[in-house]
């Protein structure tokens, strides 16, 4: 059953008062029957509102399979099938995992036989489609839920463009110190209100960075990404985390006189950019539940919190460099020259082209309870 997302938000605010932007995004993106992601099996692709690397070509999953195989081969094998867990967070309908498993079954069947698959996806509609999308790999689907497995054991956790879709707080530097933007109701309209910080964690966030916002700065803070990386580390006993997302270093995001929130609304492949002057209703506040909402990831904080959670940094690279290294190491260079792989050659150019997905996205690989030799084999830097 579908609900009017605006009505859901208005009712909540009238019942309990103004809500943070993070709470607004939680409803606008994920509320059952009302949120943007909750109401559809798939939102990306030519017919959707945005394009991801998964939409470009199955080659993206094939190259990720090369990296996953290299990493898993460094873990000691267990006693039989099902020894390694492959967890995809933000899995949607399972297309990326299908492409990864297609490649593993073809390139490394013995490793493929040892894998148990776990798909983490908040949209019930997308979860319902996973078995059909996985096809012959559906038998490997050990769990499909809205949260990470309680005990991942040994394996690899992959998250492609997940953290950018997590709810963020909007923090403002006022003449009297840090404040926060809330969402309130004015008649039937959703409007912004300035208020005090909703949690002391927001002040500590900038203290940890050693950054004082410039007067008038309005920036987004992704506390949910911090919580996610901590949870991921707790639940992974031994293995690796591969994160692919777009973002900036903290100094670029926050320590600028003209710092502005990166929160953006996407619809039909068009972005409504943030308003530096914040005049009128921002695009992300219009038509809740009908647009994708996304923000850039603070890569500095992400790496620091991963280390605090017990994850060792193995690689930090642009997606272009990461994929190009995998092409060279995998032996796919010659294979891609075959006439029947023309489409994959064109797709590779799209994945690597400057200014596109390859240069805007970063890849971070972390290890937990793994040998230090892994550092030299986790790809380029």
Mean pLDDT in residue range 334-354: 73
Q: What is the pLDDT of residue 51?
A: 65
pLDDT digits (tens, 9 = 90+) for 189-240: 899 999 999 999 999 999 999 999 999 999 999 999 999 999 999 999 999 9
- The per-residue pLDDT of the chain, averaged, comes to 87
Q: What is the pLDDT of residue 54?
A: 84
pLDDT surpassing 60 at residue 3: yes
Map residue 172 onto helix, strand or coil.
strand
pLDDT surpassing 80 at residue 354: no
pLDDT surpassing 70 at residue 269: no
Q: Which residues pair with 86 in a beta bridge?
A: 117, 156
What is the DSSP code string of 109-147? HHHHTTEEEEEE-S-HHHHHHHHHHHGGGGGGEEEEESS
pLDDT surpassing 80 at residue 28: yes
**Tokens for 99?**
């492409």
Mean pLDDT in residue range 27-42: 80
Beta strand spans in the chain (E)? 19-20, 84-89, 115-120, 141-145, 153-160, 169-174, 177-186, 189-195, 218-221, 236-248, 264-267, 270-272, 292-294, 297-298, 312-318, 361-368
- Identify the residue with better confidence: 42 or 367: 367
- Band (268; pLDDT cuts 50, 70, 90): low
* The model's pTM: 0.90
Spell out the domains of the chain, with CATH numbers in brackets: 5-41+168-224+248-292 (3.40.50.12710), 53-165+226-247+297-377 (3.40.50.12710)
pLDDT surpassing 70 at residue 120: yes
Q: What is the pLDDT of residue 373?
A: 44
CB burial string 267-301: b at 16+ within 10 A, e below:
beeeeeebeeebeeebbbbeebbebbbbbbbbbbb
- Identify the residue with better confidence: 345 or 21: 21
- Identify the residue with better confidence: 123 or 310: 310
The pLDDT > 70 percentage for the chain reads 85
Non-local CB neighbours of 177 within 8 Å, separated by 6+ positions: none
Q: What is the pLDDT of residue 33?
A: 83
pLDDT surpassing 80 at residue 34: yes
- Identify the residue with better confidence: 49 or 10: 10
**Tokens for 198?**
């909703």
* DSSP strand pairing (84-89 vs 115-120): parallel
What is the largest distance, in Å, between two alpha-carbon atoms of the chain?
Answer: 65
The pLDDT > 90 percentage for the chain reads 64
Q: What is the pLDDT of residue 344?
A: 76
Continuous H helices in 168-297:
200-209, 223-235, 250-254
């Amino acid at each position: 059953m579908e609900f009017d997302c605006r009505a859901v938000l208005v009712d909540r605010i009238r019942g309990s008062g103004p809500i943070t932007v993070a709470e607004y995004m939680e409803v606008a993106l994920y509320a059952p029957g009302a949120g943007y992601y909750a109401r559809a099996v798939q939102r990306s692709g030519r017919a959707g509102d945005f394009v991801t690397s998964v939409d470009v070509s199955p080659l993206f999953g094939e190259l990720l399979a090369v990296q996953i195989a290299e990493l898993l081969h460094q873990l000691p094998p267990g006693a039989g099938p099902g020894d390694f867990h492959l967890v995809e967070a933000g899995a949607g309908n399972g297309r990326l995992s299908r492409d990864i498993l297609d490649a593993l079954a073809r390139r490394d069947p013995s490793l493929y036989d040892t894998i148990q698959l776990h798909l983490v996806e908040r949209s019930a509609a997308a979860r319902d489609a996973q078995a059909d999308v996985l096809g012959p790999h559906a038998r490997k689907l050990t769990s499909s839920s809205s949260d990470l497995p309680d005990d991942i054991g040994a394996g690899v956790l992959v998250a492609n463009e997940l953290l950018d879709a997590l709810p963020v707080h909007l923090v403002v530097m006022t003449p009297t110190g840090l404040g926060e933007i809330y969402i309130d109701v004015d008649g039937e309209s959703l409007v912004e209100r300035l208020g005090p910080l909703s949690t002391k964690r927001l002040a500590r966030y900038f203290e940890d960075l050693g950054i004082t916002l410039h007067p008038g700065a309005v920036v987004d803070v992704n506390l949910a990404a911090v919580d996610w990386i901590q949870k991921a580390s707790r639940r992974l006993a031994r293995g690796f985390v591969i994160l692919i997302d777009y973002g900036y270093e903290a100094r670029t995001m926050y320590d600028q006189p003209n710092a502005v929130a990166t929160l953006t609304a996407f619809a039909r492949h068009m972005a409504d950019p943030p308003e530096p002057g914040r005049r009128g209703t921002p695009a992300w506040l219009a038509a809740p539940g009908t647009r994708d909402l996304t923000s850039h990831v603070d890569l500095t904080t992400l790496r620091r919190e991963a280390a605090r959670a017990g994850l060792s940094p193995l690689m930090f690279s642009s997606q272009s460099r990461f994929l190009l290294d995998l092409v060279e190491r995998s032996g796919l260079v010659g294979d891609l020259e075959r006439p029947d792989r023309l489409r994959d050659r064109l797709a590779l150019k799209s994945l690597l082209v400057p200014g596109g997905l390859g240069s805007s996205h970063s890849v971070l690989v972390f290890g937990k309870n793994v040998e230090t030799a892994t550092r030299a084999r986790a790809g380029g830097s």
